[in-house]
Structure 1
Amino acid sequence: MTYKIMDIINTRRLGLIEKEDGASTVWRLPVEMLHQIFIHCLPNTDHLKVSPNMAPILLTRICRRWREIAMDMPGLWCRLFVKVRSDHEDWEQAALWYGLWLQRSQGLPLSLSIYSLPSEAAKLQNLLQPYTTQISSLLLLSENAAIAAEFPFEDLPGLQDLTLSWRDNYRNVTNFARSISRLPCALRNLKLKRITVNPFESLSTCSVWTNLTSVEIMIYQAHESLDLLNLCPNLSSLNIGLGVEVVQPLKACMHTNLQYLSIWSSTWVRYPPGDLFNALTLPSLRILEAYYVGWPHEDFKAFLARSTHPSESLIFGAGMTVTDEEQAEYRALIPSLEVKWRNYLV
């Protein structure tokens, strides 16, 4: 729908020039209606790219009135994808566009997706420096984890959502722990994508965990998932990947606030989830998803039985083997339970 609207705007752009007699129907549209049209013209993506052929920049090229209205709508300019370029001339031009875009946000909270190499950290900091207090959501992409060590997280007091993603597994845990320790206390949602934290103990002294309500993480040892839950008393959502089988006994752990749990493995983990569920009590759990893991049927039934708040959904994904008889027993235990199947990992 968005692209269809943009095609129409592109086709008629030259015809929608401001007329002195005000005869143009588009010219007479109320500002409030244009606001709604402009919002629906935005691409259906989390972060917008700077492009003269896409909204919101395209909207500023239609006519003078549209330009004035679009430039005075800070909500159009609050989401941005930034790619820090190594070429000096290319970056100067790009930085000019990024700066104009961010200025038009007029102080509203910003959601940014940034791709940068560690060598370009100075360019990135110079660009963001005037807007550090506005950044509430940040997706930081790079070839490796060194970018996180250089990023000034401590200068983002309003940061609530942070996603870190890079291509190689992070081995320099000391530097990574230093980065995590600099995260602001306002942070509530933390996603570490394609990152295996080993050992998790190196991050356990960071105070940021206390206030988190949502975490996505890949850890190496199953017992460290219990350590994570103990560190995050306010956690309501956990998406966790397990690395290897249990190598030490698991201590009992109760978490009273967790409502959503997604558990998965990059390889087939034959029995850790069974031991994990024996140790876990999650009285508020509503939704459980599982991918590429396995557990003893009776152990899992016992886990469900310990939930004082009946779970609503049990979602089995790729790599799972659960018989119809076992599903029936789960439903018998919790009559309101909805069992679903999903073939992909979210």
Structure 2
Amino acid sequence: MLDRLQRARTRVSDLDAQIQRLEVSIAILRAERLVLQEPLDSYTYPVLTLPTEITCEIFLHFLPPYPACPPITGPFSPTILTHVCRTWRDIADATPYLWSRITLSAQELSLDTQIEISDLWIRRSRSRALAIDLQNNQDQNLMGLKSLIAHRLRWERLTLRIPTSTADVPRTDGPMPLLRYLDINSLFHEDSTPLTFLDAPLLRAVVFNYKAAAMIPVPWAQLTSLTLYYIFPHECVPILAQGLNLVHCELRFVFSPEETDVVLNFTLPRLQTLILQDMYHECPSGLLTSFVVPALRTLQIPAWFFGSTPLDDLRAWILKVGCKLQKVHIIGELETSDEALRREFPTIGDLSVRQYADTDWNPFTY
């Protein structure tokens, strides 16, 4: 018994000695750490010495080019800027433009989570005009639109894809004083829709498919840019009759056998850019003659829109409408070279035949 107690006393003494040696070592390490930490604490990273205005401008260049919307989550979301440090978080939170373009397209997040994040972005955007992009999941788009409808006074751009039924589509009637751009792809089966955009005095650019064009009221007369697609030529007549202020027009036609019997006349006195497409290569020749566009400067047109004598047809049409074309791209194939074309039309500076259409001829960004 006495031996066991003696061994315990000896062991405790040894442990006390080890603890004392370790405490001395820890004290030395802490002193060294303090010496090293002082200059680190006093050092300011150069990026944090930038004026707030410069940092804010750098943040704005983090966004994709306008009007594309950044994702609401992930490495390309402005939210990532708030995760770097407190200074960056404060600057990002105080920069409304970072949060003014909203899309609900994060497949990995539930719709409720995306709406919650979009509500936060809207609060951060303060009074900035909003660009809304709802074009991925059609069913989710309606729920997203419902959550954003209360902010329509701030809408500047709206891109929307909606399903076949209008039963759950929220009403959009009411003033939209900032709305400039509207892009809707509709698959409505009903004969009416609660969507209306008549009270939008700044609306200038519209992109509609045939269903949206037939069912959604907009102030056609004030538009300067219009794109209609999957639409029959005769369906364009009542719309273009009101489009006297159009400067840019893109029409992507479909045709039916009855279409050849319809007499068309599209008089657009201010139009400068006309882009014609045929979605299924079914266009009857001679459709170009339906357009009276004396101010036209830019034309993109499929080769099969002409008859058997395309150069003669183009020359006759130019003389008829009196336009002074500066740029003409003919899409498809013609039995003539670009050099021969330029000899035939020496006053057109940019004249060529190409296989594929240009994807972006619209100078208006809105």
TM interval, short-chain normalised: 0.7 to 0.9
Aligned counterparts, 1:39-78, within 5 A:
39-44=60-65, 46-78=68-100
* Distance of aligned partners of 1:104 and 1:285 in 2 relative to their CA distance in 1, 3 Å threshold: same
- Code of the residue aligned with 1:209 in structure 2: it is W
2:166–2:188 CA contact under 8 A, matched in 1? no
Count residues in correspondence: 311
- Code of the residue aligned with 1:196 in structure 2: it is Y
Q: Which runs of 5+ in 1 are unaligned?
A: 1-18
Alignment partner of 1:311: what SS? coil
- Code of the residue aligned with 1:74 in structure 2: it is P
Work out whether 1:323 is the aligned partner of 2:335: yes
- Code of the residue aligned with 1:32 in structure 2: it is E
Q: Distance in 2 between matches of 1:278 and 1:151?
A: 42
Work out whether 1:229 is the aligned partner of 2:246: no
Work out whether 1:131 is the aligned partner of 2:143: no
1:257–1:284 CA contact under 8 A, matched in 2? yes
Alignment partner of 1:340: what SS? strand
2:134–2:141 CA contact under 8 A, matched in 1? no
Q: What's the TM-score once normalised by structure 2's chain length?
A: 0.73
Which of 195, 203, 206 is equivalent to 1:190? 206
**Which residue does the alignment assign to 2:349?**
337
Aligned counterparts, 1:251-262, within 5 A:
251-262=264-275
Which of 134, 146, 159 is equivalent to 1:114? 134
More displaced 10-residue stretch of structure 1: 148-157 or 53-62:
148-157
Alignment partner of 2:104: what SS? strand
Alignment partner of 1:139: what SS? strand
Aligned counterparts, 1:12-161, within 5 A:
21=42, 23-44=44-65, 46-83=68-105, 90-115=110-135, 117-118=138-139, 121=142, 124-125=145-146, 127-142=147-162, 144-146=163-165, 150-155=169-174, 157=176, 158-161=178-181
Q: Give per-residue Cα distances to partners, 1:292-317, cap 9 Å, x unaligned.
A: 74212233221122343411111123
- Code of the residue aligned with 2:73 in structure 1: it is S
1:78–1:102 CA contact under 8 A, matched in 2? yes
**Which residue does the alignment assign to 1:4?**
none
Q: What's the TM-score once normalised by structure 1's chain length?
A: 0.77
Work out whether 1:271 is the aligned partner of 2:271: no
**Which residue does the alignment assign to 1:282?**
293
Which of 299, 324, 327 is equivalent to 1:310? 324
Q: Distance in 2 between matches of 1:148 and 1:264?
A: 33
Q: Distance in 2 between matches of 1:220 and 1:113?
A: 23
Q: Distance in 2 between matches of 1:333 and 1:24?
A: 62
**Which residue does the alignment assign to 1:179?**
195
Which of 191, 216, 224 is equivalent to 2:227? 216
2:297–2:327 CA contact under 8 A, matched in 1? yes
Q: Distance in 2 between matches of 1:343 and 1:232?
A: 30
- Code of the residue aligned with 2:275 in structure 1: it is S
Q: Give per-residue Cα distances to partners, 1:19-64, cap 9 Å, x unaligned.
A: 7535221221111221222122224570111115334111111111
1:211–1:232 CA contact under 8 A, matched in 2? yes
1:238 deviation in Å? 1.1
**Which residue does the alignment assign to 2:7?**
none
- Code of the residue aligned with 1:141 in structure 2: it is R
* Distance of aligned partners of 1:160 and 1:71 in 2 relative to their CA distance in 1, 3 Å threshold: same
Structure possessing the higher radius of gyration over alpha carbons: 2
2:149–2:172 CA contact under 8 A, matched in 1? no
* Distance of aligned partners of 1:312 and 1:146 in 2 relative to their CA distance in 1, 3 Å threshold: farther
Q: Give per-residue Cα distances to partners, 1:184-241, cap 9 Å, x unaligned.
A: 343221112xx3349x7x559x462111111111354334444432121111111112
Instruction: State percent identity of aligned pairs.
Output: 19
